[in-house]
Structures are given as structure tokens and as C-alpha cells.
């Protein structure tokens, strides 16, 4: 019973992921409301001290569109100012920001979103059709035990 539910959920997830790729992108005009950034510092699990490595996420908060915010790279983050009018291209179902356009200049922000969703969709299809399964730790394993 549980196996059937997992396979049905995996099939639905695969359909949604692949449908998000196939549907035409949404294009909307928006205005940059504000900027925000978050820096994640890596912590050494043995002693709890910060490691020298870190990762910063940059986000533009938008008004005037169905997309409320977009994760962007540092160059787009610093280039656009609060109040700038931009055109945002996003996926239909998950509203993933794909591209930002200002005037005639295209500022790509999410180049690999299709590959990630295709990979997730294919993996979910493999689970749905029984070619892959989840082990007791939640990891995907291929083939039979």
C-alpha cells in the first residue's frame, strides 16, 4: 500500500515537473522594490567554528507582477537599482525566475533550471515505474536489492 502511494506521488511529481518545462514561460513587467542578500557561512561540525568558505544569495523583491522576488547573481543585483522597471520571464507552475530584461539588454539569472527539473522529473518517473526505489534512509537506489 505504501509503495503504491509513493509511486503515485512520484508520478504526479514527475508530471508537474515536466509540465513546468513544456508550458510557455510567463513574461511580466515588474518594478524592483528592494534588494536583499543573505550570506551563509559554513560551520565546522567538530568544533562549531566558522570556516573561511561562505555563500551569498542575492534577491530582488518585485512589485507589479505575480513574481514577488527573484534570486539573481551578484552582477544583476548590483546593476539594477530600486525603482527600475524590468521585464521578468518565469516558469508557469513554480514561478522560477528565468531571465530579467531591462530595455533591450537580457540579464540571464537561471541558466540551468530546465536541466534540474528534467533530472527531477526523470528520477520521479523512474521511481513511479519501479525502476528506482527509496531505501529506508530516503535515498534513491536503482534496480532490485
Domain boundaries, the chain: 2-142
Identify the pLDDT of residue 85: 94
Distance (Å, whole) CA 79 – CA 77: 6
Residue of 94, 87, 71 whose CA lies nearest to 23: 94
% of the chain beyond a pLDDT of 90: 38
Beta bridge partners of 108: 99
Please determine, for residue 66, whether its predicted confidence score (pLDDT) is greater than 70: yes
Whole-angstrom distance, CA of residue 19 vs CA of residue 100: 22
pTM (2 d.p.): 0.73
CATH code 3.40.50.800 for 2-142:
no
- The predicted pLDDT at position 88 comes to 92
* Contact present, 51 and 114 (Cβ < 8 Å): no
In tens, the pLDDT along 94-144 reads 888 888 888 888 877 777 888 889 999 998 998 888 887 767 676 767 765
pLDDT tens for each residue of 109-123: 777 888 889 999 998
Per mean pLDDT, which range of 26-40, 50-64, 72-86 is the poorest? 50-64
Three-state secondary structure string covering 105-131 = EEEECCCCHHHHHHHHHHHHHHHHCCC
Q: How many CB atoms lie within 10 A of CB 116?
A: 13
The DSSP H or E segment spanning 17 is helix 2-22
β strands within 16-79, DSSP E: 26-43, 50-63, 69-72
Q: What is the pLDDT of residue 64?
A: 92
| Per-residue CA distances from 138 to 48, 69, 115, 132, 141 (Å) | 27, 31, 22, 12, 9
Taking alpha carbons only, the member of 107, 87, 119 closest to residue 20 is 119
Q: What is the pLDDT of residue 138?
A: 65
Which residues partner with 53 through β-bridges? none
Amino acid at each position: 500500500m505504501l509503495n503504491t502511494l509513493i509511486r503515485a506521488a512520484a508520478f504526479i511529481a514527475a508530471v508537474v515537473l515536466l509540465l513546468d518545462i513544456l508550458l510557455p514561460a510567463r513574461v511580466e513587467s515588474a518594478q524592483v522594490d528592494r534588494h536583499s542578500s543573505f550570506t551563509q557561512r559554513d560551520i565546522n561540525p567538530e568544533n562549531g567554528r566558522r570556516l573561511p568558505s561562505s555563500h551569498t544569495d542575492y534577491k530582488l523583491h518585485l512589485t507589479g507582477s505575480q513574481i514577488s522576488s527573484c534570486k539573481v547573481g551578484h552582477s544583476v543585483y548590483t546593476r539594477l537599482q530600486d525603482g527600475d522597471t524590468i521585464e521578468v520571464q518565469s516558469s508557469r507552475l513554480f514561478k522560477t525566475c528565468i531571465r530579467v530584461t531591462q530595455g533591450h539588454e537580457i540579464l540571464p539569472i537561471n541558466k540551468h533550471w530546465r536541466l534540474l527539473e528534467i533530472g527531477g522529473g526523470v528520477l520521479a518517473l523512474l521511481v513511479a515505474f519501479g525502476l528506482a526505489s527509496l531505501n529506508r534512509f530516503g535515498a534513491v537506489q536503482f534496480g532490485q536489492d
